[in-house]
């Protein structure tokens, strides 16, 4: 598809800006060479970016001879994205700059209720977080809110959430609590966005989110695939053991009943960390439970792999604990694999802390970069 002149110009500007964001300091010549653009085009774009307050001249780079190249740098904190992750018992907050760097994050106990009081309280915590961690509150682009449930395409309402006990489409009345724009997203999709931001090597990815419920995200060409009914990547409701354990959705044998964080935490006094401590301490019951967990997980991973034939990232609360057990999981998956001898397509998440809040904060950052 041919792009119009205006679209080419816009894309050039975005590419020049992204290149500056990726470097601490970079010269006009380097950008021209990296993007195969003419020096005047790069110069004009930099002038405009300086005018927008997004880029600054940073002096001269050391030259090997001849004229010294003057360099430019981004001003990454000229815009900030905020992420608010809502769970049953906590809210988490994160702030990211234009480079996608996390400036601060925090997790605060706060029991969810679908009431105005709750939303006002979450908004107050967010305001306090912004004042504490953002130098200039005018730089905040918006609040990305991630929730454990299915969210409408327009990011305005929550269609359904078992964990938050919401059965019908519900407007999350946070917009009234902020002067900023608010955008709602699914927590696993948000976490996959955070993961993508630190995985430039991944073109296609399945993110398997093993949290208090199991979800996931399908990423093709670095874009989220939502499905016709927003139900894509609902791996928790894949039948893994016919007539098996009851699932919270009312059916039986779904992966959620075997793969969720709750299925392990219940053997650690409700805490996943306690479960893994007991496992490390060779607690016999925890060893047995974990062996069964990994066996079922390996079936799920193998099924995902034969369908999508791409990299698979184990994320969510459990995913952040699975690093030491990855060789064991890979061996189980390899036993089931028809095509590959080594399950090198499998890894654990790089974002282990507050991935959903970070991913939600990146929504406004990415939209802003695409809009310059």
Inter-residue long-range contacts of 239-245, CB under 8 Å, 24+ positions, other chains counted: 240/296, 240/299, 240/300, 241/296
Contacting range for Zn ion; rule: CB under 5 A; set: 29-37, 39-47, 150-158, 242-250: 242-250
Contact residues for 286 (Cβ-Cβ < 8 A; gap 6+): 267, 268, 275, 278, 279
Cβ distance to Zn ion smaller for residue 92 or 211: 211
Nearest to Zn ion of 102, 240 (CB atom): 240
Residue 238 Cβ vs Zn ion, minimum distance, rounded to whole Å:
9
Contact string (CB under 5 A) for Zn ion, positions 290-319, x = contact: ------------------------------
To Zn ion, the closest distance from the beta carbon of 234 in angstroms equals 8
102 forms bridges with which residues in the sheet? 96
Three-state DSSP at 60 gives strand
Total residues contacting Zn ion by CB under 5 A comes to 5
Q: Which is nearer to Zn ion, 17 or 255 (CB)?
A: 255
Q: How is residue 102 written in tokens? A: 């996390």
* Least spacing, CB of residue 371 vs Zn ion, in Å: 39
- Which of 95, 129, 116 is closest to 361 using CA atoms? 95
Other CB atoms closer than 10 Å to residue 338's CB: what's the count?
7
Q: Which of the ranges 57-65, 67-75, 112-120, 244-252 carries the binding residues for Zn ion, by CB under 5 A?
A: 244-252
CB of 236 to Zn ion, least distance (A): 6
How far apart (Å, rounded) are the C-alpha atoms in residues 76 and 96? Answer: 9
- The conformation of residue 237, written as its DSSP 8-state character, comes to G
- Mark the segment that binds Zn ion (CB under 5 A) among 60-68, 106-114, 142-150, 254-262: 254-262
**358 contacts 315 by C-beta, under 8 angstroms:** no
Greatest CA separation for the chain = 76
Query: Given candidates 13, 28, 254, 278, which one binds Zn ion under the rule CB under 5 A?
Result: 254
Query: Which one, 142 or 259, has the nearer CB to Zn ion?
Result: 259
Minimum distance, C-beta of residue 4 to Zn ion, in the bound complex (Å): 47
CA 58 to chain centre: 32
> Which residue is it, tokens 């306690």?
274
Contact flag: residue 241 with Zn ion (CB under 5 A): no
CA–CA distance, 175 with 165 (Å, rounded to integer)? 21
Encoded one letter per residue, x for contact with Zn ion by CB under 5 A and - for no contact, window 72-101 reads ------------------------------
User: What are 17's two structure tokens?
Assistant: 């800006």
Binder of Zn ion out of 184, 247, 265, 279 (CB under 5 A): 247
Find the shortest distance in angstroms from Cβ 126 to Zn ion.
32
Number of H helices, E strands in the chain: 12, 16
Q: Which stretch binds Zn ion (CB under 5 A): 100-108, 239-247, 289-297, 300-308?
A: 239-247
Binding segment (CB under 5 A) for Zn ion, from list 104-112, 204-212, 251-259, 302-310: 251-259
Pick 237 or 350: Cβ nearer Zn ion: 237
- Residue 240 near Zn ion by CB under 5 A: no
| Smallest separation, CB 213 to Zn ion (Å) | 9
Cβ-contact 360, 146 below 8 angstroms: yes
Rule CB under 5 A: which of 102-161 touch Zn ion? none
Tokens 């950052």 found at:
365
Residues 198-237, one symbol each (x = binds Zn ion by CB under 5 A, - = not), give ---------------------------------------x
Is 249 among the residues that bind Zn ion (CB under 5 A)?
Answer: yes
Phi-psi region for residue 354, left (φ > 0), alpha (ψ -120 to 50) or beta?
A: left
Q: Is the dihedral of CA 106, 111, 112, 114 positive or negative?
A: negative
**Cβ burial, residue 188 (10 Å; 0-12/13-18/19+):** buried
Query: Least distance from C-beta 212 to Zn ion, angstroms?
Result: 14
Residues that bind Zn ion (CB under 5 A): 237, 247, 249, 251, 254
């Amino acid at each position: 598809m041919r792009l119009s002149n205006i679209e080419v110009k816009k894309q050039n500007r975005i590419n020049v800006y992204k290149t500056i964001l990726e470097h601490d300091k970079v010269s006009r010549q380097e950008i021209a060479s990296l993007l195969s653009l003419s020096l005047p085009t790069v110069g004009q774009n930099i002038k405009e970016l300086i005018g927008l307050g997004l880029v600054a001249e940073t002096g001269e780079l050391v030259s090997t001879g001849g004229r010294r190249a003057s360099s430019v740098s981004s001003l990454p904190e000229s815009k900030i994205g905020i992420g608010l992750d809502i769970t049953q018992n906590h809210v988490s907050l994160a702030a990211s700059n234009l480079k996608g760097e996390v400036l601060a994050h925090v997790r605060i106990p706060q029991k969810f209720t679908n009431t105005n009081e709750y939303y006002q309280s979450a908004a107050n915590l967010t305001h306090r977080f912004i004042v504490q961690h953002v130098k200039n509150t005018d730089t905040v682009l918006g609040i990305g809110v991630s929730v454990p449930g299915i969210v409408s395409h327009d990011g305005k309402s929550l269609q359904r959430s078992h964990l938050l006990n919401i059965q019908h489409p519900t407007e999350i009345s946070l917009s009234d609590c902020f002067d900023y724009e608010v955008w709602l997203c699914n927590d696993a999709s948000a976490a996959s966005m955070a993961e993508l931001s630190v995985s430039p090597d991944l073109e296609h990815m399945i993110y398997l989110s093993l949290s208090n419920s199991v979800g996931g995200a399908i990423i093709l060409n670095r874009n989220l695939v939502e499905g016709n009914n927003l139900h894509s990547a609902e791996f928790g409701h894949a039948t893994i053991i016919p007539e098996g354990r009851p699932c919270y959705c009312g059916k039986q044998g779904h992966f959620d009943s075997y793969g969720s964080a709750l299925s392990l935490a219940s053997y650690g006094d409700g805490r996943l960390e306690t479960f893994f401590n007991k496992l490390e301490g060779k607690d016999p019951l925890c060893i047995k439970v974990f062996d069964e967990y990994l066996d079922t997980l390996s079936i799920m991973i193998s099924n995902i792999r034969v369908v999508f034939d791409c990299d698979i990232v184990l994320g969510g609360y459990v995913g952040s604990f699975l690093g030491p057990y990855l060789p064991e999981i890979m061996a189980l998956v390899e036993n089931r694999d028809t095509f590959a001898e080594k399950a090198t397509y499998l890894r654990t998440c790089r974002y282990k802390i507050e991935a959903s809040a970070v991913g939600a904060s990146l929504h406004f950052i990415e939209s802003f970069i695409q809009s310059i």
